[in-house]
Every structure is written in structure tokens, then in C-alpha cells.
Amino acid sequence: MMEKAPINWTNMLLFSITPAAAVTLVPLYGYFYGYDLYEWLVFVAMMGFCGLSITAGYHRMWSHKTYKAHPVLRFIYALGGACALQNDVMHWASGHRRHHQFVDNDEHDPYSASRGFWFSHIGWILRDYKSGRTDFSNIKDIQQDPIAVWQHKHYLKLVLLTNIGLPALLGYLHGDVIASLLLAGLLRLVLSQHVTYLINSIAHMWGRQTYSDQSSARDNPVLALITYGEGYHNFHHTFQWDYRNGVRWWHFDPTKWMIRMLSWVGLTRDLKRTNPAQVETARLKMQYQQATARLEDNNLPEHWREKLEQEYEQFLKLLQQWNEQRQAWYEAKGKRIQETLAHWERIQVRDRYRELQFQVKVQKRRWREMLRNLSDPLLLPA
Ligand SMILES: [Zn+2]
Ligand SMILES: [Zn+2]
């Protein structure tokens, strides 16, 4: 049993009063006076402002350094982060880096999922647990960022300005300060906080372990829909330096799309991506592991196990070749024609790379078909 840590009264009051007020005052005011389209639009805009400042700013930029951002953008993130009221970026990133380093370790992971849903969702904030103590030794780089320093210094003022001042101003301009304070202030605050906390709770409980089973982190595409793409949490814990969480182009990850689009106008740069062969290899290994377990559970014939292994080895080797050829092609692309490589040699490298890429596709289709058969033993030949 863990010790009962002392209650953090500031947080306890904040996280009790704001939701209680939100579920009573917001509908009451709506019932008697109603909210109009403008007020809902301000609410949605401020949800996005806070949410994306946390996911793209606090999380992917400051905590994980997956890309670099222009000072103007960092300034906006600092404001949005204060508006989300999830502590300043130094506390947030320091805790989050520890979460990755010691994931699921009850003593060191500040929101360890193995301590249960409640703890990882919000319980860790309500008491001063030892696992949550402040230790800035892991954020020396962030302490060098003047914008993070500025936010740290003026955090409380920024919180009040963005949470009360901004909604009040936007409401005043429209002629109803209270409605704006309730929707864009209160309801937005409560919702945006719990949306973030769902990543620490649900994304460590429900979903698939697509790339690794080394931690409790899961890929949950449904959760991605309300968390600006952060639901692909197994990918994120496996490849935390990647600016994407949803790795496929069609994965719903608005944070990734925003970071990418901002790079076109120079507000972000040096976006880090994981080598695709590395991603495929991690996925293949997990699938192989799961398929072998299924074979054993169902007592399937030995020659199927051999077939699976053979196919797996072949696929692994192909991925490795593909990766090597990809590197060769990127190198060739970078060199000037008059240098070492003649034009036709370059074409050769490119064609070999494309050929391998095609082979990977074909192999992948075969592998998937095989896994499908394995999950339905009736389809297996005798
Ligand atoms: Zn992270
Ligand atoms: Zn996590």
C-alpha cells in the first residue's frame, strides 16, 4: 500500500469547485438567458487555443523537442498553456519527461497508470505525492528558453489574464460578459483539463499495443478525436522524438497537421520523423509475437509455426534492405550531379529503392493475409 500523501488544498479546491460550478451554472444560465453562436464559437476557439498549446507546445515541442518553433509561436504556446491551467511549462515538461523515463513505475512516474484510473487521471494532482515532487534537473534546456522563463515568472498573472480577462473582453465586445465567462472561461477550462488527463488515464488502459509492449501506453484512435491526435499513445511512447503521434497520413492528428503547416510559413522547423522501416519493424515484431501466442493457445499444427517464422524472417530482411536502399537514395539525392554520382547511377539507386518499396507493400499484404488466417483457424488448410 502506498502512503496517503498530504492533500494539496489549492488543487483540491480548484478541481472540485470548477467542475461543480461548470455543471450547474453553465446549464442554468443557458436555460434562462441562452447562448448564441458567437459565444459558442469563442468557446470552440479557446478550446483549440488551450488544447493545441498543450499538445503542440508543452508536449511535442518543449517536453520532447520533436521540432523547433519560432519565438512568436512559443509566446502563443506560453499564453495558451497558462490558459489551460496545467501549471507552467517547466513543471509540466519536467513531470512529463519523468513519466516517459519511468513509465508505470509507481515511485518515479508522476502519473503512473499502474496506480489505477483515478490516480493517473487526476488523483496525482490532488495530493502531494513523492512521485510528483518538483525536480528541474531534467529540463535544463527549457530553463534556457527566455519565453519559458518569462512564463514561469508571471504564471499567475497570465492565468488570470487568459482565463478571466480574455473571455471577459471577448464577451464585453459582444455585449454579454457573463455568458462568455461561463462558456469560454469556466466550461472550456474544465473540459480542456480533463481532455488532457484522459491521455494519462485512458490512453494507458484501453487500446492496442501496436509498436511495443514495454509500457502500458495504448493506441486509441477514438481518443485521438478529442485530444488533438494524442490518442496514438503507444506510437508516442515508442517513438517519442517524432513530431507525429498518428504516424499514418490518415490518422486523425490535428497537432501534427498544424506543426506541418506552420513549417511552410517558417514558424516551425526541423520536424523529426522516425525512419519508416524502423516503424514497420517494430510493428512486425509485435504482430509476430501476438501471432505466436495465438498459435500456442490454439494448438495449431507445427508447420504453421514454421511458415509464420519463415515469413517473418523474410519480411524483417526485406525491411532492412529497404532501409539501406532508402539511405542510399537520400544520400544520392543530396549530392550534386557533377560530384561522385553520374545521373544514370542516381536513377539506378532510386529505381532500386522504389522496387524495394513495392516489395515491402506486397510482403505486407501477404503477411496480413496470413495473420487473418491465423486468427480464424477454420480458414487454415489441414
Ligand atoms: Zn510524451
Ligand atoms: Zn503516457
Beta-carbon neighbour count of residue 363 at 10 Å? 19
> Of 211, 239, 269, which residue sits at a domain end?
269
Per-residue pLDDT, averaged over 331-342, amounts to 69
Is 4 within the bounds of a domain? no
Record the cell numbers describing residue 119, joined without a space. Answer: 490516480
Residue 15 Cα to ligand 1 midpoint, Å, equals 23
Residue 313 Cα to ligand 1 midpoint, Å, equals 32
Is 224 within the bounds of a domain? yes
Question: For residue 381, what pLDDT is reported?
Answer: 52
Residue 196 Cα to ligand 1 midpoint, Å, equals 12
Ligand in closest contact with the CA of 102? 2
Per-residue pLDDT, averaged over 330-340, amounts to 71
Do 190 and 322 have their domain in common? no
pLDDT digits (tens, 9 = 90+) for 65-80: 999 999 999 999 999 9
Instruction: Provide the whole-model pTM.
Output: 0.90
Q: Produce one character per residue of 308-325: b if its CB has 16 or more CB atoms within 10 Å, e if not.
A: beebbeebeebbebbbeb
Domain that holds residue 101: 9-269
Confidence class for position 323, pLDDT limits 50, 70, 90: very high
Do 132 and 157 have their domain in common? yes
Is 165 within the bounds of a domain? yes
Residue 33 Cα to ligand 1 midpoint, Å, equals 42
Ligand in closest contact with the CA of 243? 1
- Contact criterion met (CB below 8 Å) for 318 and 356: yes
Per-residue pLDDT, averaged over 340-350, amounts to 77
Residue 99 Cα to ligand 2 midpoint, Å, equals 7
Do 190 and 308 have their domain in common? no
Ligand in closest contact with the CA of 233? 2
Residue 93 Cα to ligand 1 midpoint, Å, equals 9
Do 309 and 205 have their domain in common? no
Is 354 within the bounds of a domain? yes
Residue 216 Cα to ligand 2 midpoint, Å, equals 8
Record the cell numbers describing residue 219, joined without a space. Answer: 493506441
Is 286 within the bounds of a domain? yes
Do 54 and 37 have their domain in common? yes
Residue 217 Cα to ligand 2 midpoint, Å, equals 6
Is 1 within the bounds of a domain? no
Residue 24 Cα to ligand 1 midpoint, Å, equals 34
> Of 254, 269, 284, which residue sits at a domain end?
269
Ligand in closest contact with the CA of 58? 1
Is 2 within the bounds of a domain? no
Residue 18 Cα to ligand 1 midpoint, Å, equals 26
pLDDT digits (tens, 9 = 90+) for 104-113: 999 999 999 9
Q: How many domains does the chain have?
A: 2
Do 261 and 291 have their domain in common? no
Question: For residue 216, what pLDDT is reported?
Answer: 95
Residue 106 Cα to ligand 2 midpoint, Å, equals 13
Ligand in closest contact with the CA of 114? 2
Residue 240 Cα to ligand 1 midpoint, Å, equals 6
Residue 127 Cα to ligand 2 midpoint, Å, equals 20
pLDDT digits (tens, 9 = 90+) for 153-167: 999 999 999 999 999
> Of 269, 289, 321, which residue sits at a domain end?
269
Taking CA atoms, 98 is separated from 91, 107, 110, 300, 380, in Å, by 11, 11, 7, 43, 46
Phi first, then psi: what are they for 247, rounded to 5°? -80, -30
Per-residue pLDDT, averaged over 190-218, amounts to 95
Ligand in closest contact with the CA of 203? 2
Phi first, then psi: what are they for 35, rounded to 5°? -120, 145
Record the cell numbers describing residue 16, joined without a space. Answer: 472540485
Do 249 and 289 have their domain in common? no
Do 330 and 219 have their domain in common? no
Amino acid occupying residue 80: G
Question: For residue 382, what pLDDT is reported?
Answer: 47
Measure the N-to-C terminal CA separation of the chain; round to a whole number of Å: 52
Residue 218 Cα to ligand 1 midpoint, Å, equals 13
Residue 185 Cα to ligand 1 midpoint, Å, equals 27
pLDDT digits (tens, 9 = 90+) for 245-263: 999 999 999 999 999 999 9
Do 168 and 303 have their domain in common? no
Q: How far is the C-alpha of 352 from the C-alpha of 146, rounded, in Å?
A: 48
Give the residue from 45, 111, 57 showing the smallest Cα distance to 82.
57
Res. 235: pLDDT tops 90: yes
Mean pLDDT for all residues in the chain:
92
Do 291 and 142 have their domain in common? no
Do 207 and 99 have their domain in common? yes
Residue 119 Cα to ligand 2 midpoint, Å, equals 13
Residue 108 Cα to ligand 1 midpoint, Å, equals 15
Residue 273 Cα to ligand 1 midpoint, Å, equals 15
Is 3 within the bounds of a domain? no
Do 134 and 172 have their domain in common? yes
- Contact criterion met (CB below 8 Å) for 219 and 207: yes
Ligand in closest contact with the CA of 66? 1
Return the percentage of the chain with pLDDT > 90, whole number: 80
